[in-house]
Amino acid sequence: MSFTAMELMICCAARELEDGKTVAVGTGLPCAAAMLAQRTHAPNLVIMFEAGGVAPQLPTMPVSVGDSTTFHRAVMATSMADVMQFCQRGMVDYTFLSGAQIDPYGNLNSTFIGGTHDKPKVRLPGSGGANDLASFCWRTLIVMKHDAKKFAAKLDFLTTPGYLTGPGAREAAGLLSGTGPHRVITDLCVLDFAPATKRMRVKSLHPGKTLEQIRAATGFELEACDPLTTTVEPNEEQLRILRTEVDPGRYILGRAC
């Protein structure tokens, strides 16, 4: 079956979510991935929304983190303070983030582009809860479009910590050992982080993409895993669930990456 880049990215993200684990999500692609995982290989996945919905059984795609569907048949209808407390206590396995820029160590910028903090060329939304989630959840899944402006050697502003400056830097900053970026999922490939250096590297190429194409779309030197694999394509059942159960209104599937 044919599929779009958005559908491939959602399926890649869903595969990372294991049965019985916990994940803090927002709306959009992360929510679609969590819903797909829950309907396929991870029925006991615990989904959390920052507005306070804990372990809902999502009937449809919510339009916001405070949508009434994020509390549908939930275990708890609580508050943002409680959800953030769960993260701080080490109870949340995965979270999803994105940003305007990402550097080789998985640090993210969602504050400004160009100029200075007081006089930026482009003012962005800022952290929201991104810094908290990346600091305290065990594994961060980052989803973003792949181009050289976004994949930058140096951020204009560090909003959200990845591995900071490399091995040991998170721990030196007071963050718990074992936490940090886990995967970066783009419209070209899936990337992970080398254990020894904590630098980003290509883990799998999406069908039809080349390593040269990915390196040309990256603003820093990028290594690759050995062996370098090809991303598994969505199967017919995953696409059916995505299109008919997760997002029949095409709120997410109708978007470009």
Domains of the chain from N-terminus onward: 5-246 (3.40.1080.10)
Give the three-state DSSP class for 122: strand
Enumerate the active-site residues: 50
DSSP string computed for 212-254: HHHHHT-SS--EEEEEEEEPPPP-HHHHHHIIIII-TT-TTTT
Return all residues near 217 (Cβ < 8 A) that are at least 6 apart: 146, 147, 148, 151, 188
The helix or strand, by DSSP H or E, that contains position 47, with its residue range, turns out to be: strand 46-49
Give the three-state DSSP class for 160: strand
pLDDT, tens digit only, all 257 positions of the chain: 799 999 999 999 999 999 999 999 998 999 999 999 999 999 999 999 999 999 999 999 999 998 999 999 999 999 999 999 999 999 999 999 999 999 999 999 999 999 999 999 999 999 989 999 999 999 999 999 999 999 999 999 999 999 999 999 999 999 999 999 999 999 999 999 999 999 999 999 999 999 999 999 999 999 999 999 999 999 999 999 999 999 999 999 988 77
- Provide the whole-model pTM: 0.95
